[in-house]
Structure 1
Amino acid sequence: MLSAYEACAAHIQRGDLTVSSAGLFWLQTDPTEGCNTLWHLSEQRPVRFGPDHLGIRSGVNGYGGGAVAASDTGVFVVAEDQQIRFLGLRGDTCIALTDDAGAAFGGLVADNARNRVLAVREAGGAQQLVAVSLDGELRVLHAGQDFYSAPAVSADGRKVAWTSWQLPDMPWVRSQLWTAGVNDDGGLDHCRPWPTPTEASVQQPVFDGTRLWVLSDHAGWWQPWYLDTLAGNGRWYSGQSAELDHANAPWQLGELHHCPLAGGGWARVQYRNGTGELWLLPSDGAAAFRAARDFSDFRHLRASGDYLYCVARSATRLDAILAIEARTGQFRILAGGEDPMPGLKPALPLDIEVPALNHGEWPVHGFFYTPRLASPDLPPLILVAHGGPTSAAYPAFNPQVQYWCQRGFAVAEVNYRGSSGFGRAFRLALEGRWGEVDVEDMERAADHLASFGLVDGRRVFIQGRSSGGYTVLMAMIRSRRFTAGASLFGVTDPLRLRAMTHRFESGYLDWLLGPPEAFPERWRARTPLYHADRITAPMIFFQGGKDEVVVPEQTRAMIDAMKAAGREPELHWFEQEGHGFRQQANQAGMLEWMFSFYRKHSRKANEQVENLS
């Protein structure tokens, strides 16, 4: 059986893949180290690259991304102090390029034509698009927008593109595409925005010759569109793709879900009911075909020579670095892809679809995992509300899900209304209705699984992290459907969070609940702290003492309110942790405490049923 420590140790993650003539590089997060390290493919073997002490992480917008960019002469990285460094080709030189106290950098893109890096700079409550040269000169290329993302450079280095958005919007609600020419001294000229035909979220601009491709959802889905930058007529041309999202919500900088292939043609990711599919489109007009079917999510697509490189996720492996032959789709694993549970058979995700309640509404999708521990009784169910809330659950290996399934629990991860990957209208359905439609969909999922005899409908637990913790608390307040709940650093007081949250999300809560000045009753009705007395089922809380997103006072206040109402919530405090636990021992401890909690209340629920019968 998978122990809590083994479950946490199995969670090696890989990301921020980048490629140049200098080679292939990526970031790797090992919970035993607790930081991101840089890796390189050397003689077809993965090896650690750069100084041993170098941790890499961008803090832009609080979620980072784009902390690595390979150039032809080395690798640009964002160190944990948020400053840019340059690593030479041998990895034995580490040059500090910036010394910008109070600033953070992210979204790195190499500009090989000028041997520099483009980046998003965040400082003093403002962002800029900047360029940093190898001699440490920092040049502001564009300013005046609230947020910047996804800089891209044309192959000849003469054009750049990026996206921006303004407060109070989030980038998946409304954003704008920009282009500019690069003059002889490296500055920008002819900067201009490219309005979409209707209101839209745009992301991931990519140059392919004179065409600038971008993923825009102005037609209802994040689909590929292109503009002819030579014609300059502002017309948007469809990439003639399926009506599916071709990307997920841009919480981080540096994502890339579509990529022109070096020999012509394209690689694109499509999300079908939450599962990522990789499609290759040949340049000769031949039919598109799906590649790497063993994997269920793909990030950081990069092409070089005859190959496409990416980070791929699977339900049965750890994150893998793939090399995919663009012509045939044949692939090999360059790094990762390990068996996370040697000698044990993992529970596999089964697609579930909860029918729509009313005509014209959407069904709700998710992934269901059956327990691996045999029992003559129907299993108890753990419903998982993902964070964000504008994010999604994916059918990729999750050691915590496996931990529960090894102990006789069924698990369902639900993509409630507001999740990304199901089109613009589904994603925006959460506007003003947070704490309402997400709770309804979690309840519907529980009832649906119980009605098919897959789980014991009398033993249903619900858990979630961050905004998922808020969904848990609102579910416990609004419903008597759940046996018990677990809030992992969950939001308890949205108004207080609104006053203290970072700039990136400063308008997000007004979108989720409506402006508090206009909807004071709604805010009060959907603030768990004010309704602690309505939670009658058991609750367990986990909180980090250094959490700067959901500050510790949120959880403390909720615990005090529940105790004042005569309840007995469990609280487990981890003083040195922030928003999301990074230390392996603490992650394992959290699992063990939750298992003890669920097991105790599962038994109590069984005893109550036996007494009634």
Structure 2
Amino acid sequence: MVSDAGVFWLQTDPAEGCNTLWYLSDQGPVRLGPEGLGIRSRVNGYGGGALAATGNGVFVVGDDQQIRFIGLSDRTCTRLTDDPEAAFGGLVADTVRQRVLAVREFDGQQQLVAVSLDDELRVLHSGQDFYSAPAVSADGGDVAWTSWQLPDMPWVRSQLWTANFAEDGSFDQCSTWPTPKEASTQQPVFDGNRLWVLSDIGGWWQPWHLDTTVDEGQWHACQSPDLDHANAPWQLGESHHCPLGDGAWARVHYRNGTGELWLAPSPGDEGTRIARNFSDFRYLRTSGGYFYCIARSATRLDAVLEIDPQTGQARVVAGGEEPMPDLRVSLPLDIEVPALSHGEQPIHGFYYTPKQASSEMPPLILVAHGGPTSAAYPVFNPQVQYWCQRGFAVAEVNYRGSSGFGRDFRLALEGRWGVADVEDMGRAADHLASVGLVDGHRVFIQGRSSGGYTALMAMIRSRKFAAGASIFGVTDPLRLRAMTHRFESGYLDWLLGSPDTHPERWHERTPLYHADRIAGPMIFFQGGQDQVVVPEQTRAMIHAMKAAGRAPELHWFEQEGHGFRHQANQAGMLEWMFSFYRKHSRKANEQAENLS
């Protein structure tokens, strides 16, 4: 996040288990805010947009979900909201009026609000089920935002809105602008007074200019490659494109799962790819003649980059350290699994070679990413490196439904969750074995959240996996539908179809009902405070497997939520999984030898 005062970012402190605020001073990175202040939004369950910078300080959302202002000159931290029933996120500074715009979530509804430095909270817009982070024009006269209604998710269908600011700071002349066809629209941004968005009207998230001076608006496509220029908006406040002035732009392209950063001298010019040592880019912002972003790499920790738009030269100003200076990092290799039929897209992913020398083909850990409308990226992942250093190959697969491969591929999972994703994971395992990269008898499958569901369904539907791991994975979609948070309350119906019209489909694709069909070993990990995949999901699955005569292994972390944040628990999970995989790798080897 940037302002006239400089560059600000959040940094995860593993020892404290929270996000802390940092500022790029003349002497280098400096931590801001009082000790113990964790910064994190929980709007929609996944947060985003937890800070917004102004010329004299930073608005942040604390772990208690309240907005604070941290002054740069006196370093004071002032709490601006006292709304314990609400959560705030998607912060955007309104510097003209010395306040912050935010999404407020409370009592099953959302609003766009403004919070001033004197603690005044003003509701700017309401009536929509969900709101994204708004964008304010440079002169402070115009604002744009997107919204969506249940049962849609924002990557299926969303609306673009604009308004003017009245003299008292309220919204005036609110208008919604329908897209020429059903589409997802995200990340509105002003280049002067021209409004740009990323929309998949043409089948990919690409830049479009909306001319609001014409009745009903005119949508103009910007000439750009047929690639997604953004990922699925699970979090608020993402930014994958940034105007640089005089018609120049910085934009992200996702090509087969890899993020590329491009500088374009004009909206219709593809331009030049820069920062090639990095493979994912987020939060593009401009300040003081440079632009900044968070960049990720396969060989470094996340970095804050400062980029000269005139030359394309990138400089790391924070982060970017070598994570394993004494060990060789296993680099991701692109894999492409051929399409099943003409007209379908192939399946892409990333393969990591084990670092322990061996004369035999290595065992494989096949990873199903969460979401499932998310993606795997070729960036440094300490858990992947943990397995590679211990003799395992790892493959992360972007199965059908993943983002970054266009609208049709992303929506291909509609009604087919637990089938299409499982088929693609199996095809990836077969492909890697057929080309001689892994031992097909020692393939393990694991996943987190919805990836855990995919792993469980794979263990039910196939016998090709030696064992599986569910990390706070979904085991009972119907029960989850009744208990999950509001953001995903309509998502399961999209993934499986309505349970009223497709009851047989829900039964067939509920792991809990088919525990007796899991012939291979399973290991489970669950946080006791998980509010997304509630703990009862895992408890019930363990009980069902034991009732079916199975012996699942369970590791419980009472103080963890949806995603383990404490170092000791992360390390413990890896150690237990390694012991589990090593034991069953040996058994699979013995069984293969006996068969031969």
**TM-score computed with the length of structure 2 as normaliser:** 0.99
Provide Cα deviations, 1:534-566, integer angstroms capped at 9, x if missing partner: 000000011111111111111111111111111
Aligned counterparts of 2:34 and 2:247: Cα–Cα separation in 1: 37
Question: Where do residues 98-247 of structure 1 align in structure 2 (5 Å cutoff)?
Answer: 98-231=81-214, 233-247=216-230
Residues 210, 230 of structure 1: 8 Å contact kept: no
SS state at 1:269 partner: strand
- Equivalent residue letter for 2:488: E
Question: Where do residues 5-404 of structure 1 align in structure 2 (5 Å cutoff)?
Answer: 18-90=1-73, 92-231=75-214, 233-283=216-266, 288-404=271-387
SS state at 2:133 partner: strand
Provide Cα deviations, 1:374-397, integer angstroms capped at 9, x if missing partner: 000000000000000000000000
Gaps of 5+ in 2: none
Provide Cα deviations, 1:317-368, integer angstroms capped at 9, x if missing partner: 0000000000110011000000000111100000000001111212100000
- Equivalent residue letter for 1:125: G
Aligned counterparts of 2:417 and 2:57: Cα–Cα separation in 1: 45
Residue 304 (structure 1) shift: 1.3
Provide Cα deviations, 1:290-311, integer angstroms capped at 9, x if missing partner: 1100000000000113211000
Provide Cα deviations, 1:486-536, integer angstroms capped at 9, x if missing partner: 000100000000000000000000000000000000000000000000000
Aligned counterparts of 1:575 and 1:61: Cα–Cα separation in 2: 23
1:558 aligns with one of 535, 541, 547: 541
Provide Cα deviations, 1:242-280, integer angstroms capped at 9, x if missing partner: 110000000000000000014540000000000000000
Residue 285 (structure 1) shift: 8.5
Gaps of 5+ in 1: 1-17
- Equivalent residue letter for 1:377: E
1:407 aligns with one of 378, 390, 393: 390
SS state at 2:378 partner: coil
Aligned counterparts of 2:382 and 2:451: Cα–Cα separation in 1: 18
Residues 210, 229 of structure 1: 8 Å contact kept: no
Aligned counterparts of 2:127 and 2:528: Cα–Cα separation in 1: 36
SS state at 1:261 partner: strand
- Equivalent residue letter for 1:525: E
May I ask how many residue pairs the two structures share in their alignment?
Answer: 596
Residues 6, 287 of structure 2: 8 Å contact kept: no
Aligned counterparts of 2:245 and 2:180: Cα–Cα separation in 1: 30
Q: Which residue of 1 aligns with 2:482?
A: 499
Aligned counterparts of 1:373 and 1:23: Cα–Cα separation in 2: 45
Residue 577 (structure 1) shift: 1.0
SS state at 2:286 partner: strand
- Equivalent residue letter for 2:232: A
Mark the CA change 1:119 to 1:181 in structure 2 (over 3 Å): closer, same or farther: same
Q: Which residue of 2 aligns with 1:8?
A: none
Residue 373 (structure 1) shift: 0.6
Aligned counterparts of 2:219 and 2:465: Cα–Cα separation in 1: 48
Q: Which residue of 1 aligns with 2:513?
A: 530
- Equivalent residue letter for 1:295: F
SS state at 2:134 partner: strand
Which stretch of the first structure deviates more once superposed, 94-103 or 478-487? 94-103
- Equivalent residue letter for 2:427: R
Which stretch of the first structure deviates more once superposed, 42-51 or 376-385? 42-51
SS state at 2:135 partner: strand
Residues 282, 327 of structure 1: 8 Å contact kept: no
Aligned counterparts of 2:450 and 2:28: Cα–Cα separation in 1: 40
Tell me which of the two structures has the higher relative contact order, counting C-alpha pairs closer than 8 angstroms and 6 or more residues apart: 1
1:597 aligns with one of 565, 573, 580: 580
Residues 44, 334 of structure 1: 8 Å contact kept: no
1:568 aligns with one of 532, 551, 555: 551
- Equivalent residue letter for 1:229: T
Residue 211 (structure 1) shift: 1.1
Q: Which residue of 2 aligns with 1:465?
A: 448
Residues 20, 304 of structure 1: 8 Å contact kept: yes
**Is 1:451 equivalent to 2:443 in the alignment?**
no
